[in-house]
Structure 1
Amino acid sequence: MKIIKSLLVVSFSILLVSCFGFSNKEENKENMAKVMFTPTRDTEVAYFASGCFWCVEAIFESVTGVEEAVSGYAGGKTLNPTYEKIGTGKTGHAEAVAVYYNPKKISFETLVTVFFGSHNPTTKNGQHPDYGSQYRSIAFYKTANEKKIIENAIKKLSAEEYKRKIVTEVTEFTKFYKAEEHHQDFERRNPNQSYVKAVSVPRLNKFKKKFPELLKKGNH
């Protein structure tokens, strides 16, 4: 009986701090008004995947030069993926973020620095506490120059920072599917949600401490 009870407690604890354990009933219905984002003619888009998109979106939105970050799905072949479908790990998609940025204020190279500096690229298929192919690390490129920037960053990090092999996939971008509306700005709208408090906020704060020079005013 004690063993069963212990397993139940562990399972419940994992659910509380799991990105996929989210229930719509937990959502904060306040501040749900959509903020319409209109890209300017200077706006460009980059795509990254590095674990739960709630965390990744909040990190990129804290960076100077980033106009908006949108949570979604990329890297798979299944048409019209949903949160529930990609959670099975069978669609090939990863939770990803589309980063809208102004290249006059921030370079693609700096975005790559943010990407690698805000997660562990040596972890196969996941970022603690989320594991599965949908949480794998992917840096997407649209041009040969973007691919070269990513590969150079990996070489530099492999030589200077990581002893373990970097397993980040360097993948040509094909298609991005925007996630369901309740996933957008999730961390900001749900500050008291268990996963946000236990995982998202600490991950964001760790990034802020590491790269204070990249933050927007008011995000320190």
Structure 2
Amino acid sequence: MKNPFVLSIQASTLLLLLACGAQKGNNHQAKDNSDVRAVELASAAPATKATAAFAEGCFWCVEEIFEAVVGVDSAVSGYAGGTTTDPTYDKVNTETTGHAETVLVYYDPAQVSYEELVRVFYLSHDPTTPNQQGPDRGSSYRSILFYSTPEEKQIAERVTADMNQSRYKNRIVTEIKPLEAFYRAEGYHQDYVIHNPNNPYVRGVSIPRFELFKKTYTGKLKSTHP
């Protein structure tokens, strides 16, 4: 098992521990699988970029969905919402850490807003099934909408209320909670769908879920995406 990558977010400081074979400078999109660790502060990232985190089931599926949205630079798979530190995939799968599979989305607010990403969140999974998303069951697959500022909380609550009435008939079970820490998942989880297109789960669950989202979503999608 690879050592986990840890991204801790506390107050205004975002500390990203990236795995990389050599120092990547300010490239937050690096998804290297090696074990050498480097440290990057979010404050060193371009000022025009922002982050948002979403838990909506298997992060293999979710990464591909958000990376297809215009304005999104990249999505990183990881764990958030729990009570333990340094969670690993094996530990999270025991459903005892409190963490959910989560993606951290890097985006350009000039091209896509946090509010629009919240709508992507609600249109790309079923927020009415507690502790379940498709064939995946357990608290690590629950629906969580994370926020980092009071403004984001207001947006999250407003869009949730709107979606709950207009689309989901008051059945939404999504948690709305502050993003206190994000732990980057092991390297082999990053861009999993791209690297493993013939995996049975990818073919049977991830790809159909992405195709359904594309039919449902009316916002701007990239003509091609990584």
TM-score bin (small chain)? 0.7 to 0.9
Match 1:184 to one of 166, 187, 190: 190
Match of 1:159 in 2: 165
Displacement of 1:164 in angstroms is 4.7
Helix, strand or coil: the match of 2:163? helix
Match of 1:137 in 2: 143
Match 2:123 to one of 102, 106, 117: 117
Q: Which runs of 4+ in 1 moved over 4 A?
A: 33-36
Match of 2:224 in 1: 218
Match of 1:56 in 2: 62
Structure 1 or 2: more helix by fraction: 1
Paired with 2:224 and 2:58, the residues of 1 have a C-alpha distance of 24
Correspondence 1:102 to 2:93: no
Unaligned runs of 5+ in 1: 1-23, 25-32
Deviations 1:127-154 (A, max 9, x none): 0100100000000001111111111111
Displacement of 1:165 in angstroms is 1.9
Correspondence 1:150 to 2:156: yes
Q: Normalising by structure 1, report the TM-score.
A: 0.81
Match of 2:50 in 1: 44
Helix, strand or coil: the match of 1:217? coil
Match of 2:14 in 1: none
Paired with 2:115 and 2:209, the residues of 1 have a C-alpha distance of 21
**Is the contact made by 2:68 and 2:224 (CA closer than 8 Å) also made in structure 1?**
no
Displacement of 1:96 in angstroms is 0.2
Q: Which has the larger radius of gyration?
A: 1
Helix, strand or coil: the match of 1:88? coil
Percentage identity across paired residues of the two chains: 51
Paired with 1:199 and 1:106, the residues of 2 have a C-alpha distance of 27
Paired with 2:83 and 2:47, the residues of 1 have a C-alpha distance of 30
Deviations 1:124-183 (A, max 9, x none): 011010010000000000111111111111111121111252100000110000000000
Say what the alpha-carbon RMSD is for the aligned residues.
2.0
Q: Normalising by structure 2, report the TM-score.
A: 0.79
Helix, strand or coil: the match of 1:214? coil
Structure 1 or 2: more strand by fraction: 2
